[in-house]
Structure 1
Amino acid sequence: MTNERYAHHRYLLMTLDPVHPGAGGYRLGRVDLSIAREPGTRLPKIPGSSLHGAARSYAAYLYEKPKCAGQGQASSSNHCGDSGCPICYTFGYLKGKQMSSGVVNVFDAQILLFPVHSMLGPVWVSTPQRLREAGFDVPNGSPADCECWTTLKHTGQINLGWLMLDATGQVQIKPPDEWAKDAWNAVKDCIVLVPDSLFSHIVNSNLEVRTSVAIDPQTGAAEEGALYTYEAIPRATFLTAEVVLDDYSQKFPQNNRWENPLDVIRAGLKMMEYLGVGGMGTRGFGRIAIVGQPVEKKQEEIFKNLEAQA
């Protein structure tokens, strides 16, 4: 772990259950309760605010300071605001008229590999550009329209749900060393790369959709007019999320549990493997796991990249 002022961590996450990062309220369309999406691509995501809030809450429980979770407003328990509290230092606090911003920025978790049923069994769909941006070694270029590249030993056509594509080439994909773990090894030979123009259609056509209904306690039967549907990012989806440290004061309180703010955020993210993130948690939704270790860029590398782009 780093003790520098600036650092950048990129996490590889895998959903252990369907995840429902709700968009809020009812929407007209295919389902009643939709999930958060990017406005431009319409690709589902887990908002950084959801990850940040859950990580803070779980880290606060681990540190046995539950009142340091939440918003800290007058209507609820105030944050402690103690200079020796790693939770308030990392995530910021609001205590009466006193406030302080946090030192970690948690960004949206973006879909990297999306599981889809095919005639060859389950495959994980992505695009070359997404993998390159996440730090994977992928051949240059991109498949043509109506074509795909695969890591499967298969030639000819392959269906991705309802969509049939021509598999025109077998490729090798190398992940960052930090992510080359069991979860990656389980899917590395079942990957299909498609053009960016098709990825959103494939993802949105293969989201998990569930139906629930309220039960009338008097009769034990379904309550009339109480049927609703909701969608979720399916189990075994891989996502990437970035965490940036901006520790301007470098006065992280010393304790026996964590050495710096990045340790705090990682502990909170790790707890999502058990307690989950997003809605419908009591219905078996929400758990995500960290795959391997985060890919780290230290302060010196960040500055070099900025100078190269200037």
Structure 2
Amino acid sequence: MQLHDVWFVLIAVLWTGYFFLEGFDFGVGVLTKLLARNRTEKRVLINTIGPVWDGNEVWLLTAGGATFAAFPEWYATLFSGFYLPLLLILICLIIRGVAFEYRHKRPEDRWQTNWEHAIFWTSLIPAFLWGVAFANIVRGVKIDQDMEYVGNFFDLLNVYSILGGLVTLTLFTFHGAVFTSLKTVGDIRDRSRKLATQLGVVTAVLALTFLIWTQVSRGDGWSLIAMIVAVLALVGALGFNLAGREGWSFGLSGVTIAAAVAMLFLTLFPNVMPSSLNDAWNLTVTNASSSAYTLKIMTWCAAVATPVVLLYQAWTYWVFRKRIGTQHIVDVH
């Protein structure tokens, strides 16, 4: 295995980590409208992810930076061709971070309500658009012989990509509901578990349709194995959720996300961004990668920094591992 192959795998791992961690972040944000009945319950939901949401976003920065350094042609084509949806995601992430910090700064009802609306929409929109973006990457987009995207925004809106967006939206919301039941006590815990069951059924139907479509159009034996793992893990997550075993359910919903992302990257390889105009114009791990020396330096840096980041983030989750409920929310006003 050459270094550009190694970095393709590492980037897949980074995106997996991002969707696993930020996935339940987005899900909890969406649940502030679907699950919470009052402001106190919204505060409970927000407090479950309050200590970790910003750390989870580090995975996105690392994935983007690794793509830029390891596969500059992929990065350039992706971020120029998908400029509008990625810009919208970026704006949402900025507003979302501000909303978490500013929501409690003033006691006025209108002030807090507006920021709560912002949290909901800036969680829902990226959760949908990430699915649209990755579905288009797998499906192939209009790339010419100069490695440039020559389509337009509306070319990215097709049945397959919209289905992909619905899958990530429902899967992340299900993941967030399971996380909520894992991190809360009392009535909100019971209601989140019931809602997770409903969301899981919808997710299973959409995900199975999308994964089968992907497998039939671009899959091979390895991607089929990943698809089977994703489906079995989702079924297991639903089963453990019904049994009240939130830890197992959350772990298996994470496995579902990881297996689904693995399937998408397996259907891509050795391409990183297929061309729908001509297979000869596909961006591959070979023609889109940096020099061997650059990849070698990156590998040494990653070997040193990655364990430190993982240990720090694991420590954060350990410190804030306890459940919370409405009885823990103090009205500071």
TM-score above 0.5, yes or no: no
TM-score (norm 1): 0.27
Question: Of the two, which has the highest radius of gyration?
Answer: 1
User: Which has the larger strand fraction?
Assistant: 1
TM-score (norm 2): 0.26
User: Which has the larger helix fraction?
Assistant: 2
